[in-house]
Structures are given as C-alpha cells and as structure tokens.
Structure 1
Amino acid sequence: MQVDKILIIDLGGTDNGEIARELRRYLVYSEVHPHDMTAAELAEIEDVRGVIINGGPNREVDGVLIEPSADILALDVPFLHTGYDGYPDLPVNLQERAKLLNEFVFDTCKARPNWTIENFLEWKTAEIREEVGDRKVLLALSGGVDSTVLAALLGKAIGDRLTMIHVNTGLMRKNESEHIREVFDAHFPGQLIYVDASDRFL
C-alpha cells in the first residue's frame, strides 16, 4: 500500500519530533532518521517524496560538525535544508512555519495527504502478513492498550493463526481479568488461553 513519506534527517536539530508531528497533522507520514543515514538505507524506504535536513544546536559531535552524507544529497528528491551551513532555521512564527512546510510538502514534493487511520491499518496489517508469513503467533495479552491494539492488528492480519495468553495474577483491578476474558472470547473465539495464577501471586 502506498503512503507518501517525508523523511527528516537529524543534523543536530532539537525540534525533529515536532516537525514530524506537524507533518502528520497534515496527514503526511513523516519519520526522523540519524545524520549518517545512507542513500542505500533511504532507497529501502518506499514512497519517499522529500527530505528535510534539519540542523540545530546539537550539530557538533566530539568537536566536529556533522554533515549530511554526500550520497544522500546526490539523490533526485526534493530537499528542505534548515538550520545549518547558512540555511535559515524554520520560522518561529507558526503561520509562516506552516506556510513553508505546506509549500514544501504539497507544492514541491507533491505529497498526498494519505496518512489516514484506514491506510495505517492497511499498511500495518500488510507488514504483519509479510513478516509472519504462514507461521503462527503467540501473544502475551495484558489487556492494556498496547497489547489490545496489537491483538486487533494481528487478528486482522492473520486471523485464527493468532493465539493469546492472559495470566490473571490477582493484582489487577477487581474483575478486570474476567472482563478481558469475556471481551476477547467474544471477538476471538477459541483463541485466548486464560490462566488463573492468582494463588501464586497473592
């Protein structure tokens, strides 16, 4: 599945995560990579529409100013350079900053705003299917947000090849393990192994 991407190469910037989050708010996927990323590594990432090289106060490492690799700069993709070697920082003014990023992402890079929850689910389930292949998966299920979301993604991707184990330690909130059991038995019939080990922990 195609999801347009803007990569941010960290050249000592302190706002890389902030830039990535801002681009995602525009529904364009973005991720941060280290300054020594190679062109070969970048080429392995599909659908890269542009690269932001973001300098900043942490650019000096062991007394040496870090630079983007020459093979990265030679790539035939649009670049936005900020905060190093004479390039200005991103504007502090939010409207000016948004205008600059929008023009780069949508006008220069021609990226499409296709980072949606539907595309995310399709992308992640495809990744899981490729990684798992025809094997089975055993998931330790706490019932928290992380394991529950992972269970939902795995269930969508590989169906009944998913088996989950939930251990009732007796240390959770009252009746919480029983509730987890009911919910997952309803949505994943026969795929949850429920272990009552409360006697061992209490």
Structure 2
Amino acid sequence: MTQHDRLLIIDFGSQVTQLIARRLRELNVYCEIHPYNRVDEAFLQAFAPKAVIFSGGPASVYRENAPMPPAGVFDLGVPILGICYGQQVMMHCLGGLVEGGQGTAEFGRAFVTPTDLTHPFLAGWFPPEAGPQAQEQVWMSHGDHVSRIAPGFQVYGTSPNAPFAITADPARHFYAVQFHPEVHHTPKGAQLYANFVRLAGFRGDWTMGAYREEAIRKIRGQVGDAKVICGLSGGVDSSVAAVLIHEAIGDQLTCVFVDHGLLRQGEAEQVVTMFRDHYNMPLIHADESALFLGALEGVSDPEVKRKTIGRLFIDVFQKHATAVGGAKFLAQGTLYPD
C-alpha cells in the first residue's frame, strides 16, 4: 500500500474542524482528525506526522483541566499551525500569555493588516500593489486573546482586536493565527493552508481515486476468504461501504436491507434494484414493515418511537444475519465525524 505523508489535526472541539480536513484534502494532502484527549506521546510516535494542526475550540487555556496537546508535539521537529484556540494553546504552552476578552473579543468579519515582516507562509496575501493599505478579510471567533507571544515568535499581521492575529516562529516552523482560515468568510484562507503544506514538504499525492484502490486492497487483505454481513440502508454512507467491499471480495459479501416501512414512496424498490440488479450484490430484502408499523401504532412519544425502531431493527437484522451463517465480519457505513 502506498505510504502517504500524513498530517495530524488535533481537535480541541471546534465546530469547523472538519473544514480544516476538507481544505487539506482539496490540496491532495492525507490528514486525520483526532481528539486532543486521544493524542499522547505514544500516539505521536506511531502516527509520525509530517506536520500538525491545532484546531480551534471553545475552552480557555487558563481554566482548570483545559484541553492541552501532549508536550512532546513541540519536540517532533515538524511544522505546527495553531488556529484560534490552537494559537492560544500554543502560546500558553511555549511561554506566552493568554487572557480573557476584556474588550478584545471578536466574533465575525475582521480585517488583518500586515506588519513590516514577510514570510512564505503569507504568500498570496497582502498584495504589494495595495501598499500600506493592504489588508485581508478574515473570520474571527474568539473571546480570549493572546496578550504576549511566546519567545521566538514574531508578528506578521494584526487586527483591531487581535494585535497578534498572525504570528510565527520561523526557526521552529511554528505558525499561529487567531482567525479561521478554513471557513469561506476568510476568502484567502485556503492559500494559507496551501502555503503551510508546501513549507512542510507535502507532495500532494493523495486523491480519492488512490484511496479507493488502497481501501480495496486493505479490505481484501483483512477479510481473506471470510464472509461479511453489511447493514445496508440505501443512504450514502452504507452504500459507499457496500460498493467498496463488494469490489474487494465479491459474493463473500451479503447485504441486509431492513425495510421498516418508513421510507419514502418507492425508495425500498430503488434500493433493491440498485444493489441487487445493478451491482449484482447478494442482498436480503427484509420487508418487515408490518412488524414496525404495528409496533408504532398509537405511539406518539418521539423517544419511545426511536427506541422501538432501534430495538426492532437490531432484532430483524440479527435474525437475517444469522440465517446467512458463517459470517466473520460485520460492515457498517457511517459518517467520518461519528
């Protein structure tokens, strides 16, 4: 299997961390998001990232039990980019100071102006022809602020309420911004990510096409000649999983489609036609609509409905999966954030 350079995103709870990953994948960079409390020294050594990004988050670094990265991340010798809370936690850990809002909070559009310093990290920003009036629109969302940068850092951009909006320690290849480059409200944010991965030495060799081929090889290696049962709903997640697995192992896969009678009109027939007739997959169409609708008759409480559907779904799926017999693996498709 092709070994790609890997970028690690340490997630501190930002609502837009997934957008960071999207921007990187648009640049053909392989990355993974991992929550801060799952990233320790052993994880770092095993993952061996070529670069690290700290996401934003809602916490305050000076609060008790505030989310922190492992201390060893700063000794890996790889470029690090801190975003919003990620900037604050970087300053906090490296000897700077972060304080509460006190009139310096920013939520929404802001404009960053450059200092006299320049760096390749800012290539494509602050066009020279704009002269001293150069500025870039960004999206701020912070209550706390950096009041003193850590030793070794320099200031490359400021905003009215963020005097350290863009900072960097060029010697250690540490970069930090108070705004969110990943959102479209920062029009040139994608350029910053492109600059960062270029400075980190990424080749940009990861694509979804390559991922498909690698996933198929990995499935074949893991499954061997065993049988696999896949819960198929017809939605995007389970459908992609089913198609990938079927391409890898063919008729060793059996899909179980539980028809509970709550689908849109004609949807069950579409699922059966798509996967049984078009993709030629072994498919069990478990039409248990009478069972589900009978159990839900007269029930108005949404939570009771949810639990009833969940319980019956498990029972029905287990019944049909058992009937297949001899399956060693259970396949499930779900969203990456889940």
TM over 0.5: yes
AA partner of residue 117 (structure 1): M
Q: Partners of 2:191 and 2:274 in 1: how far apart?
A: 46
Quote the residue 2:40 is aligned against: 38
| Superposed counterparts of 1:3-152, under 5 Å | 3-10=4-11, 15-36=16-37, 37-45=39-47, 48-54=49-55, 58-60=59-61, 62-64=63-65, 66-82=67-83, 83-84=87-88, 85=91, 86=149, 88-90=176-178, 94=186, 97-106=189-198, 108-152=199-243
Identical positions, percent: 38
Asked if structure 2 preserves the Cα contact closer than 8 Å seen for 1:3 and 1:119, the reply is: no
Asked if structure 2 preserves the Cα contact closer than 8 Å seen for 1:125 and 1:154, the reply is: yes
Q: Partners of 2:289 and 2:65 in 1: how far apart?
A: 57
| Cα 1:116/1:63, change in 2 over 3 Å | same
How far is 1:5 from its partner?
2.4
Asked if structure 2 preserves the Cα contact closer than 8 Å seen for 1:6 and 1:51, the reply is: yes
Quote the residue 1:182 is aligned against: 273
SS at structure 1 position matched to 2:204? coil
How far is 1:159 from its partner?
1.6
| Cα 1:6/1:182, change in 2 over 3 Å | same
Q: Partners of 2:54 and 2:188 in 1: how far apart?
A: 18
Alignment RMSD (CA, Å): 3.0
Q: Partners of 2:236 and 2:14 in 1: how far apart?
A: 31
| Superposed counterparts of 1:152-163, under 5 Å | 152-163=243-254
SS at structure 2 position matched to 1:32? strand
SS at structure 1 position matched to 2:262? coil
Count of aligned positions: 200
CA deviation vs aligned residue, 1:46-67 (integer Å, no higher than 9, x gap): 6x32112346652437525554
Asked if structure 2 preserves the Cα contact closer than 8 Å seen for 1:13 and 1:58, the reply is: no
Q: Partners of 2:43 and 2:13 in 1: how far apart?
A: 20
Q: Partners of 1:66 and 1:168 in 2: how far apart?
A: 43
How far is 1:161 from its partner?
0.9
| Cα 1:78/1:158, change in 2 over 3 Å | same
AA partner of residue 101 (structure 1): Y
Quote the residue 1:170 is aligned against: 261
AA partner of residue 239 (structure 2): T
| Cα 1:28/1:174, change in 2 over 3 Å | same
Asked if structure 2 preserves the Cα contact closer than 8 Å seen for 1:90 and 1:97, the reply is: no
SS at structure 2 position matched to 1:113? coil
Q: Tell which has more relative contact order, 1 or 2 (C-alpha 8 A, sep 6+).
A: 1
| Cα 1:57/1:122, change in 2 over 3 Å | same
| Cα 1:72/1:193, change in 2 over 3 Å | same
Q: Normalising by structure 1, what TM-score?
A: 0.78
Q: Normalising by structure 2, what TM-score?
A: 0.50
Deviates more, 1:143-152 or 1:123-132: 123-132
Asked if structure 2 preserves the Cα contact closer than 8 Å seen for 1:12 and 1:59, the reply is: no
AA partner of residue 16 (structure 1): T
Where structure 1 has 5 or more consecutive residues not aligned to the other structure, the ranges are: none
Where structure 2 has 5 or more consecutive residues not aligned to the other structure, the ranges are: 92-148, 150-166, 168-175, 294-338
How far is 1:190 from its partner?
6.0
Asked if structure 1 preserves the Cα contact closer than 8 Å seen for 2:28 and 2:206, the reply is: yes
| Cα 1:170/1:63, change in 2 over 3 Å | closer
SS at structure 2 position matched to 1:171? coil
Q: Partners of 2:292 and 2:15 in 1: how far apart?
A: 45
